[in-house]
Amino acid sequence: MLGNKEPKESKDDAVDSKGVVPCSSSSTIERQFQREYTTFKFREVQQEFKKKGDCLVCGVTQDGDLFCVTVNEKYLLYGEPRSWTNSVKFDPATHKIRCEYNMFESRCILFCDCLAVFFYYGVDRVPSCYVLLRWSKNVQHKHTFIKSSHDEKQSDESHNLFRGLCSHFFNVAQDFVTCEKEAVMLYSSLDELRAKLFDYRSNLGPRSVPTTQNSMVIQCDPALGPSKVATKGRPRLKRLLSELDTCIKKSMQRKKKNPPPKNEEAINPTTMMVSAMRANESQEHGGFLSLLNSF
């Protein structure tokens, strides 16, 4: 999942950095969302700006410090003109707004009725609480700067050390990336440290140099085949068998140990009569005895 998500995020970031979607109007509020939101989310906001022209403010009533604005929106439904009325509460001091149907809480974007109220009172910039950070294109994803491998199921100690060092180097570079002099000092310090590490490795000898490959080798006899590995899943449990199941299992085991002879012997008529009498008795006593006699 992460392997599919990270390239998609990188591709979307590249698209957002190349250019912006042009505004459909000369509104400063639309330009505010254009600078902040991603391309995909800004197109959804533009749809509400287009529907804003179909909204008309019908009446205003004051409730304390708030204004209750009645907005009438016209739309087409199967080619027929329709309209519906929405009540919007507006605070002129803080420019906070809330509609009757809580459209911002459900869709996380300002509805066309709220935009019509902002334009009615001449608001040039919406509060920051209506510009959500989750849709911002100016957020840098730190995990995209670190190269990761999602195909590797298990990692040895060297891979864990490598990831830890990369994370530490990234944090150091992020702190000193604003000043050019500090970056030069960091470059020189890293070069000196690298030279010291090469000298330390050469003094230890080739035996102390760790290898990235796994040193464990599994040997097996080709005649015996590979070693048996425990399979995944729930182990087989011994459940309690009923009396009938136990009888059936024992009879099957006896048949496997003592198979019948291949040459068919002559059938004694006396034996046939006894078996017929037993079959009749079993039918009288029920199907359970007949099942047991069959085994």
Task: Quote the pLDDT of residue 258.
Answer: 74
Q: How many CB atoms within 10 Å of residue 292?
A: 13
Identify whether residues 25 and 118 lie together within a single domain.
yes
Asked, for residue 74, whether it belongs to a domain, the answer is yes
| Residues 107, 130: Cα–Cα separation, whole Å | 12
Please enumerate in sequence order all residues whose Cβ is within 8 A of that of 194, keeping only pairs 6 or more positions apart, or say none: none
Strands (E), the chain: 55-63, 66-77, 80-90, 97-99
Please say if the pLDDT value at position 48 is more than 50: yes
The tally of domains found in the chain comes to 2
The first and second tokens of residue 81, run together, are: 């003109």
Identify whether residues 122 and 156 lie together within a single domain.
no
**Torsion sign, CA atoms 129, 130, 133, 134:** positive
Task: Quote the pLDDT of residue 153.
Answer: 47
Of 85, 100, 135, the one marking the end of a domain is: 135
Give the CB-side neighbour count of residue 156, counting CA atoms within 13 A: 8
pLDDT tier for residue 115 given thresholds of 50, 70 and 90: very high
Task: Quote the pLDDT of residue 204.
Answer: 79
Identify whether residues 129 and 147 lie together within a single domain.
no
Of 104, 135, 166, the one marking the end of a domain is: 135
* Mean pLDDT in residue range 185-191: 88
pLDDT tier for residue 293 given thresholds of 50, 70 and 90: low
Tell me what percent of the residues of the chain surpass a pLDDT of 70: 67
| Residues 135, 10: Cα–Cα separation, whole Å | 15
* Mean pLDDT in residue range 161-180: 81
**Which is more confident, 243 or 166?**
166
Task: Quote the pLDDT of residue 97.
Answer: 93
For the ranges 104-113, 156-165, 271-280, the lowest mean pLDDT is seen at 271-280
* Mean pLDDT in residue range 92-119: 90
Identify whether residues 128 and 176 lie together within a single domain.
no
Asked, for residue 291, whether it belongs to a domain, the answer is no
pLDDT tier for residue 245 given thresholds of 50, 70 and 90: confident
Please say if the pLDDT value at position 255 is more than 50: yes
**Which is more confident, 8 or 131?**
131
Task: Quote the pLDDT of residue 208.
Answer: 40
Strands (E), 112-238: none
Identify whether residues 130 and 155 lie together within a single domain.
no
Asked, for residue 239, whether it belongs to a domain, the answer is no
**Which is more confident, 157 or 216?**
157
- For the stretch 18-37, pLDDT in tens is 777 888 888 899 999 998 88
For the ranges 84-88, 89-93, 141-145, the lowest mean pLDDT is seen at 141-145
Regarding pTM above 0.85, the answer is: no
| Residues 66, 64: Cα–Cα separation, whole Å | 5
Identify whether residues 19 and 128 lie together within a single domain.
yes
Asked, for residue 115, whether it belongs to a domain, the answer is yes
pLDDT tier for residue 173 given thresholds of 50, 70 and 90: confident
Please say if the pLDDT value at position 137 is more than 70: yes
Of 112, 135, 158, the one marking the end of a domain is: 135
pLDDT tier for residue 176 given thresholds of 50, 70 and 90: confident
Asked, for residue 32, whether it belongs to a domain, the answer is yes
- Give the chain's mean pLDDT: 75
For residue 139, the SS3 value is coil
Identify whether residues 72 and 180 lie together within a single domain.
no
For residue 100, the SS3 value is coil
* Mean pLDDT in residue range 160-168: 79
Residue-number span of the structural domain to which 174 is assigned = 142-205
Identify whether residues 47 and 130 lie together within a single domain.
yes
Asked, for residue 260, whether it belongs to a domain, the answer is no
Residue 278 one-letter amino acid:
R
**Which is more confident, 51 or 261?**
51
Give me the residues paired with residue 73 across strands. Answer: 55, 84
* Mean pLDDT in residue range 80-105: 90
* Mean pLDDT in residue range 142-147: 53
| Residues 112, 45: Cα–Cα separation, whole Å | 9
